[in-house]
Amino acid sequence: MKLTVLIDNNTLIDRYFIGEPGVSYLIEEEGKKILFDVGYSDAFIMNAKKLAIDLLDVDFLVLSHGHLDHTWGLMPLLRLYTEGMIEGLKVNKPTLVAHPLTFLTKKIDNLPEIGSLLTEDKLSGYFNLKLSKEPINLTERLIFLGEIDRFHDFETKNTIGKVLENGVEKDDFLYDDSALAYKTPNGLIIITGCSHAGICNIVEYAKKICGDKRVIDVIGGFHLLKPSKEQMEGTSQYFKSLRPESVHACHCTDLKSKIELSKVSNIKEVGVGLILEY
């Protein structure tokens, strides 16, 4: 498997890409191209062009959850597809994989929408929609985890705004938050967006679904932004016992949290242009 970082908060030094507070990865596995999240703007498309990556032949688009820093790049992606069709280029109709709650309206404070700006109906013209709470095999080894079981009481205690479900406004516990797991002969690679479901919960669920307790690497946002003492200690203890070979914590993981995790794990730098191969 090859993973290329198209969007992260940071960019690698001496690599002149665009960074923004968001996530987008291009995963290549078993002859398939999987786009994981699309960031906030068209920056991931511009970075892909610099990297000579063609986004017109993507097989799967996977959305980790509905928040704006992971879905608002959908609009420029549809423009890219539309312009390609107008120019007579070959444009795939990818399968869009996500949790069924991903496209609900999400609000916080005085902001009327922090979720996807596009509905399932609009997206169905460009994608084959596959919305599932259950795990889905994208390839033989790469799995969309679906709805994450929540094992640890030190994670996911706080809500983020409100979600409008069946006409009723509810506290949003981000049940749509999911991740990917890649199975190798030596253990698992876990790929996350924001980890609103809890990074330890995600890893534990991936181990359960894949039937493998070994974890080689975890890459993505850990949603450790000024975490409580209880959450930080619980997360550090979990990773200490997990003993992955490396940890690529990025996006919504603050410096203090990375420093704490570095005491128990091999923390690696992440930025746009990073390529990881497993």
Arch. (CATH architecture) of 2-277: 4-Layer Sandwich (3.60)
- The string of pLDDT tens digits covering residues 44-79 is 999 999 999 999 999 999 999 999 999 999 999 999
**Buried residues in 14-24 as b, exposed as e (16+ CB within 10 A):** eeebbbbebbb
pTM of the model: 0.97
* Closest listed residue to residue 144, CA positions, set 152, 132, 155, 156: 132
Whether the pLDDT of residue 80 is over 90: the answer is: yes
- The string of pLDDT tens digits covering residues 110-166 is 999 999 999 999 999 999 999 999 999 999 999 999 999 999 999 988 899 999 999
Residues 166 and 42: their CA atoms lie apart, in Å, by 31
